[in-house]
Amino acid sequence: MSQQLGTLEELPEAYRDALSKAGVAPLWPMMRNVLPHDAPQPLTKPGHWTYGSVRPLLIEAGELTPVEKAERRVLVLCDPGRGPGAMQATASIYLGMQLLLPGETAPAHVHTPSAVRIIVEGEGAFTVVDGEKLPMCEGDLVLTPGGEWHDHGHEGQDPVVWLDALDLPLFVYLEGSYAREGDLQARRNRPDASEVEYRSAGLAPSRQAHRARRYPMMRYPWDRTEAALRAMADHGDGAMPELDYVNPETGADVLPTMGFTAMMLAAGMTTTPPRRSCSSAFHVVRGRGRTTIDGQTVEWGPKDTFSAPVFASLSHEADEEAFLVRIHDRPLQEKLGYYEERE
Ligand SMILES: [Fe+2]
């Protein structure tokens, strides 16, 4: 039963002044703002950042600002609902496009928020996480979990661009966000764990429990992801193939707060996922199509990124074969006990 609650204006001015002086405020006029009925009322609005518009600005940033002056040369994708300058794409997800030029180094640091890189363009760049050198090839997903030292380098010939996804807004909200800087890391002289311990799906090295690593695999090569999606498309039931990126030791989401999936849409395919309580962002690895988000249509092409608020009604349609990576905050919501899907 919905009741009309009292407003601030109904209260005598002297009483309101006394409340302010005492450093308190009445809850009831604000009750519906903080506890709306039935579903949240997100500030987040759908965003769409075409690679055609972001790339030239990023390349220009490479001319205007040396990496030494930027530490990380990033253009942040700002949520239209929060406006220009918003350091977030949704309430909990930060997205940024990062540029590294040949020969550049992004110095080592460690911070409380976790990051994931999705490689957008170029070859020859690498990330070092906890001494492990991770090649960055187009479409790869590379983890730099909170608390892990990381630096970036570039041994190739052309600019490299990747999409950063971080749980930074959450850490800022919690007043828990900070970084430390350090020296470049010594690199172990061996391929990364995706090429050694976790080369084959379903197989993990036998280890004593006390040697278990919290983040055993930091790189998810795109060629394997695409091959797995294609196999599902060839032998599936006609539904859109979608794969969760998981920790190969535990099967859990790759990070505590953020989750990632890889989606494959055949040419002409339309798919309508349930309305989810998590917010989401989509990066187009390849292909063209459109997504309707709460009635608003985004026409997307290769390397574009777009976002959707919580409980958004989504419908994806591909004009040509398309691969998307979906970024979401379901793991966080599950830990908080309120993740939900509605048809
Ligand atoms: Fe970082």
Could you read off the pLDDT of 43-87 as tens digits, one per residue? 999 999 999 999 999 999 999 999 888 888 999 999 999 999 999
Mean pLDDT of the chain: 95
Please work out, in degrees rounded to the nearest 5, the angle formed at the alpha carbon of residue 335 by the alpha carbons of 40 and 246: 110
Q: What spacing in Å lies between the alpha carbon of 133 and ligand 1's midpoint?
A: 15
> What is the structure's pLDDT at 1?
57
Q: What is the mean pLDDT of residues 152-164?
A: 97
Tokens in use for 163? 């999409």
Tokens in use for 61? 């940033």
φ, ψ for residue 31, nearest 5 deg: -55, -45
Q: What is the mean pLDDT of residues 104-111?
A: 94
pLDDT level of residue 240 (50, 70, 90 thresholds): very high
Alpha carbon 171 to its chain centroid, in Å, reads 14
> What is the structure's pLDDT at 194?
96
> What is the structure's pLDDT at 242?
98
Strand order in the sheet with 179-181: 132-135, 125-129, 150-154, 105-111, 179-181
pLDDT level of residue 2 (50, 70, 90 thresholds): low
**3-state secondary structure string, 121-133?**
ECCCEEEEECCEE
Q: What spacing in Å lies between the alpha carbon of 111 and ligand 1's midpoint?
A: 6
φ, ψ for residue 199, nearest 5 deg: -70, -30
Q: What spacing in Å lies between the alpha carbon of 167 and ligand 1's midpoint?
A: 12
Share of the chain above pLDDT 90, in %: 90
Q: What spacing in Å lies between the alpha carbon of 109 and ligand 1's midpoint?
A: 6
Instruction: Quote the CA–CA distance of 40 and 70 in Å, as a whole number.
Output: 37
Q: What spacing in Å lies between the alpha carbon of 107 and ligand 1's midpoint?
A: 9
N residues, the chain: 343
> What is the structure's pLDDT at 213?
84
Q: What is the mean pLDDT of residues 75-100?
A: 98
Q: Which top CATH class is 47-203+212-342? A: mainly beta
27: amino acid identity, one letter: L
CA distances from 233 to 238, 264, 268 (A): 7, 8, 14
Residues 6+ positions from 262 with CB-CB distance below 8 Å? 225, 226, 228, 229, 242, 243, 245, 323, 324, 325, 326
Instruction: Quote the CA–CA distance of 120 and 114 in Å, as a whole number.
Output: 19
Share of the chain above pLDDT 70, in %: 99
Strand order in the sheet with 270-271: 270-271, 314-318, 289-293, 296-300
User: Quick check: 195 pLDDT over 80?
Assistant: yes
Residues 6+ positions from 211 with CB-CB distance below 8 Å? none
Q: What spacing in Å lies between the alpha carbon of 146 and ligand 1's midpoint?
A: 9
> What is the structure's pLDDT at 317?
98
Q: What spacing in Å lies between the alpha carbon of 188 and ligand 1's midpoint?
A: 20
Tokens in use for 243? 């794969």
Nearest to 281 by CA among 265, 299, 301, 261: 261
Instruction: Quote the CA–CA distance of 217 and 143 in Å, as a whole number.
Output: 8
* Beta-sheet pairing, 115-121 with 160-166: antiparallel
Q: What spacing in Å lies between the alpha carbon of 271 and ligand 1's midpoint?
A: 35
